[in-house]
Chains A and B, each alone.
Chain A
Amino acid sequence: MARPKSATSSFWTAVWSIVWKDLRIEQHTRQTMSVMLMFSLVVVVMFNFALSTDLDAARQVSTGLLWATIILAGTLGLNRSLSIERENQTIDALLIAPVDRRGIYLAKVISVTIFTLLLEVALVFIFTIFFNKPFWQPAALLVLFLGTIGYVAAGVLITSMTIQTRSREVLLPILLLPIVLPLILPAAIATAEIVSLQPQMDTVNSSISLIAAYDLAILAVGFFSYPFLVES
Chain B
Amino acid sequence: MIQIAGLVKNYGVTPVLRGVQLHVAAGEFVTLVGPNGAGKSTLMRIVATLLKPTAGEVKIGGWALPQHGDRVRRYIGLVSHQTLLYGDLTAAENLHFYARLYSVPDAEARIGRALKQVGLAARQRDPVRTFSRGMMQRLTIARATLHEPEVLLLDEPYTGLDQDAAQLLDDLLLREQGNGRTILLITHDLVHGLDLCDRIAILNRGKIVVSLNSQEVTSGEFLELYAAHTGRKEVTGGK
Contact = CB atoms under 8 A, between A and B. Distances in A.
Nearest to A25: B88
B123 to A, nearest CB: 15
Given A25-B86, A89-B82, A3 B103 contact: yes
A8 interface: no
Nearest to B100: A17
A28 B43 CA distance: 37
A92 interface: yes
Contacts of A3: 103, 105
B89 A88 contact: no
Nearest to B83: A88
Interface stretch (A50-58, A94-102, A115-123, A147-155): A94-102
B101 A88 contact: no
A1 B86 contact: no
A98 B146 CA distance: 14
Contact of B80 (A1, A13, A89): A89
Contact of A21 (B82, B97, B148): B97
A205 B52 CA distance: 47
Contact of A89 (B66, B75, B84): B84
A17 B101 CA distance: 7
Instruction: Tell me which of B50, B66, B78, B143 has the highest count of chain A C-beta atoms within 10 A of its own C-beta.
Output: B50
A25 B128 CA distance: 12
Contacts of B100: 13-14, 17, 20
A90 B87 CA distance: 10
Nearest to B99: A17
Interface string B29-60: 00000000000000000001111100000000
B189 interface: no
A202 interface: no
Interface residues of A, number: 31
A96 B50 contact: yes
A92 B50 contact: yes
Contacts of A84: 86, 88
B73 interface: yes
B103 A24 contact: no
Interface string A68-92: 0000000000000000100111101
Contacts of B49: 95-96
A90 B84 contact: yes
Contact of A232 (B48, B51, B75, B127): B51
A100 B88 contact: no
Interface in A1-44: 1-3, 5, 10, 13-14, 17-18, 20-21, 24-25, 28-29
A92 B84 contact: yes
Interface in B81-107: 82-89, 93, 97-98, 100-103, 105
Contacts of B52: 231-232
A96 B144 CA distance: 11
Contact of B103 (A13, A20, A89, A96): A13
B86 A88 contact: yes
A170 interface: no
Contacts of A17: 97, 100-101
Interface of A: 1-3, 5, 10, 13-14, 17-18, 20-21, 24-25, 28-29, 84, 87-90, 92-100, 231-232
A-B interface, 3 closest residue pairs, ranked by CB to CB distance from nearest: A89-B82, A17-B100, A93-B84
15 contacts: A2-B74, A10-B103, A13-B103, A14-B101, A21-B86, A28-B88, A28-B127, A84-B86, A87-B87, A88-B84, A89-B84, A96-B78, A98-B101, A231-B50, A231-B51
Given A3-B103, A17-B100, A100-B70, 5 more contacts: A1-B74, A88-B85, A89-B82, A93-B98, A96-B49
